[in-house]
Amino acid sequence: MAEQQTPPISPIAPVAPVDVLVIGAGPAGATAAIKAADTGLSVVLADEQKAAGGQVWRAKSTAILSAPSTPESRAGDDLRHRLSASAATCLFDHRVWQIQPLDQGWMVALTGPEGPRVITARTVILATGAQERIFPVPGWTLPGVIGLAAATALMKGQMILPGQRVGVAGAGPLLPFVAHEILRQGGEVAFVADLNGLADWTKLTPQMLRRPGLALRGAGWLARLRAAGIPLLYRHGVRRITGDGRVEQVEIGPVDDRWKPVDNQQTRSFRVDAVCLGHGLAPATEATRMLNCRHDHDPALGGWHVATDDLGRTSIAGLYACGDGAGILGAAAAPVRGRNAAKAVLADLADKSGAGQTSPASNLRSVSAFGRAMTSLTIPRDGILDQITPETIVCRCEGLTRGDVEAGITAGGVSPNALKSDTRCGMGPCGGRFCQETAAMLTARLTGRPVEEIGLPTARPPLRPLPIEAVASDFDYDELPIPAPAPL
Amino acid sequence: MSTPYDIAVVGGGIMGSGAALRLAEGGMRVILLEQGDIGQGASGVNAGTLSLQIKRVRLMPYALRGHQEWKRMGAEVDYRETGGYTLAFTDREADLLQERMTMKQEAGAPIGFISPNEVAVREPGLCRKVVAASWCPADGFANSSLTGRYYRHRLKAADIDVREQCGVTEIHRDEPGFTLQTSSGPVQARRLLLACGGWLKPAAAMIGLDLPVRARVNTVSVTERGPRLVSSVIGHATGLLTLKQKGNGTVLIGGGWQGLGQPGEGGNRGRVDAGSVLPNLRLARYAVPGLKELRIVRSWTGFEANVPDFYPLAGAAPGVDDAFLLGCVRGGYTIGPFISQLMGDFILGRQPELPLFDPARDFTKDIQP
């Protein structure tokens, strides 16, 4: 191995840094970009999707443009319209794979249709949103099982149904939405199994009425599901999903108020060809963890999230976060948080001495009340671990069962990094997105420590799997910056 | 306070763990203090390459013995003796390869030269632009991720008092011995071994030593699982590529390309530099064209400490009675399990099987064998 200097990345180096690079073009990021551009800053907005809107206001694919609009598609169309009228430069279909600090500002490496690309920016706003949380249950890795949020994306973007006869299970507001959407798009819903009880929902009525339009739509979904004779099973969870090579049958049973399966005589089986399963959203933290930002654990905000001040400043100067990535507050809060982050950037760039003085929009609390209430329905209760049998796959990338993971913990792998090294739990392509929370809860249970003490594993680039061909296809061997060899 | 330990070992990587095991076998009551998890520093994040072709000539006897130790650890560390090729793609690289491998051969490594045609037959997944190649049947790799699990198990079996997540903040000289202030309270020991890799400099400063230690920030990348592309360890004449495909189909790509950061600067493992990982991936892609079908799922860095002459620190701490240093071993993953035993023997007052490397030497002069 040799001493070497770090060479610059050759492709498409920008001439000058932009004032702000926004990563993620959902309602938070796109609003931040519009606001920052409107105040005269130079802005680049990057997103891996082909259009702005994120998950919640996802653009319809060209194949279904003629489909009737929905409140979400209209909100997205408005956002996309305002974005195209703004001076922000949009890089859609671009994936950020690395963010690294420079002496001044940031260097961000992306891949896109024209190949690898680097952008330097004085500040970065991360609006990377949320990821779906799914707790394992026997059979959850069978083809035909899909996340509630993934099913939402499929139906919003493509109008593709997850199956012809679908079981819908888990926790949170996506349950009635997905079930109703399946019905609306012509599918059959076998049942809706909700870990929460009806009382868990009704006690949130005051907060839900903060968005009366959406609350009314929700009531309408439930009414239509009931009218269609679909069993709405509260305090019920999936016991097991079975089938020969794909989903054929799902067994549902009651749970207690800790979501622990009880009354094994009371289970019911349904023939289905798909199951939509999900337990809420968790903030996407891989970018902020990779950059060593401070993180806090708050179950009411989706668990681990990057810590920010009221305006979205992270613990690292020049790096901001907004939207659900900074704690799940929902779609209505996202634009407000985006505007706040843009304000913070503007103030900080104008006032080089540090935190510029500016005040956050005062209405965040009220616009987030609905989102907070919905998130509260998805706070994992410890009994959910009891739905996971010892033979159930926990880390699907590496095929590790609950028994494998627990053996690793018992053998001394009690920190997330040690457990990952010892067992490979979380080492696969998903980067631990699916198994990390379950592994941490199992560690907490086995070691008798609170889950927030277990912490998070080190996050590393690339932020998304990086095709080697995307960064190493077009080069000249003689131009590889090969330094002098090591001393003999 | 309880009876002082015979020795406190600071650092739970291969060096510290290996020495602690030797010292306990020799009858000492040992405490091992690790700021993070056992075997999770450089010992656990390096590329796992066990290649005599990339070892320094002067360190070859140690590397040969190190290979024996890894072989002995076997399946518990997923040891594979696959053999390894080092490739040259240009005439200049071929000259370099010829000169270096000949010297390593003379130092005792079973390295031979083989024709590009023979390489193409034996490793059809390599590119056809090889102009010269060497082969060492003793080369291979182990899974560095398993270092922690392996040593944690052995330390436990040896009844060594191990404290993980236990950083040392201050070291005070007692007469005799030392008191270490740690994140879980004070620890007293008659002797002290600092074996904390990239953190050797700040640790040695606690006993008044200013060591010229720097950390290199080595980068490794791993792909998703893929079809079989190569079956042995692939290196490059310059040393800037190590590549192997593990049993599960993932391909590990290293070669000492430099990341960013130093120990103590935010995060404990350094940062990946896109500007160095890209040429690393390109070199790998050039050598093994089939990589174009795969995706990188993770790139990471670890700190490899060194002193200006790039030889180990292994011996008594200069001017501090009963304190010892072990670190900066170039090729430390390979050599660690062996040199840590030598260090243990030295502290136990036994004659080490091979000479150690006096930390009091003049680092500006070449070491005389």
What would the pLDDT profile of A410-445 be if each residue is shown by its tens digit?
999 999 999 999 999 999 988 898 899 999 999 999
The pTM of the full predicted model, rounded to 2 decimals, is 0.93
Using pLDDT thresholds of 50, 70 and 90, give the confidence band for residue A359. Answer: confident
What would the pLDDT profile of B181-215 be if each residue is shown by its tens digit?
999 999 999 999 999 999 999 999 999 999 999 99
A413 contacts in chain B (CB < 8 Å): 148-149
Option in A107, A415, A466 nearest B296 (CB): A466
**B117 SS3 class:** helix
Option in A292, A424, A467 nearest B267 (CB): A292
What would the pLDDT profile of A74-127 be if each residue is shown by its tens digit?
999 999 999 999 999 999 999 999 999 998 999 999 999 988 999 999 999 999
DSSP state of A48: S
What would the pLDDT profile of B215-264 be if each residue is shown by its tens digit?
999 999 999 999 999 999 999 999 999 999 999 999 999 999 999 998 87
Query: How much is the pLDDT for A354?
Result: 52
Q: How large is the average pLDDT for residues B126-138?
A: 97
- What is the β-pairing status of strands A188-194 and A232-234? parallel
Higher pLDDT, B72 or A363: B72
Q: Which of A96, A97, A460, A479 is the best substitution to test chain B (most B C-beta atoms within 10 A)?
A: A460
Q: Which of residues 257 through 316 in chain A touch B, CB cutoff 8 A? A: 292
Query: How much is the pLDDT for A473?
Result: 85
> Is the CB of A460 less than 8 angstroms away from the CB of B300?
yes
Helix residue spans in A92-172 (DSSP H): 148-158
CA distance A404 to chain B (A): 14
What would the pLDDT profile of B321-356 be if each residue is shown by its tens digit?
999 999 999 999 999 999 999 999 999 999 999 999
Query: How much is the pLDDT for B325?
Result: 98
What would the pLDDT profile of A293-303 be if each residue is shown by its tens digit?
999 999 999 99
> Is the CB of B224 less than 8 angstroms away from the CB of A109?
no
> B82 and B244 in contact (C-beta within 8 Å)?
yes
CA distance A8 to chain B (A): 5
Q: Give the residue on B whose Cα is nearest the Cα of A5.
A: B258
Any chain B CB within 8 A of the CB of A466? yes
The residues near A79 (Cβ < 8 Å, ≥ 6 apart) are A27, A30, A31, A52, A53, A57
Give the N- to C-terminal CA distance of chain A in Å, as an integer: 10
Query: How much is the pLDDT for A365?
Result: 85
What would the pLDDT profile of A220-243 be if each residue is shown by its tens digit?
999 999 999 999 999 999 999 999
Using pLDDT thresholds of 50, 70 and 90, give the confidence band for residue A6. Answer: very low
A460 contacts in chain B (CB < 8 Å): 272, 298-300
> Is the CB of B274 less than 8 angstroms away from the CB of A418?
no
Give the N- to C-terminal CA distance of chain B in Å, as an integer: 46
Using pLDDT thresholds of 50, 70 and 90, give the confidence band for residue B61. Answer: very high
What would the pLDDT profile of A269-284 be if each residue is shown by its tens digit?
999 999 999 999 999 9
Query: How much is the pLDDT for A4?
Result: 41
Separation between Cα atoms, residue A282 and residue A293, nearest integer Å: 17
Any chain B CB within 8 A of the CB of A109? yes
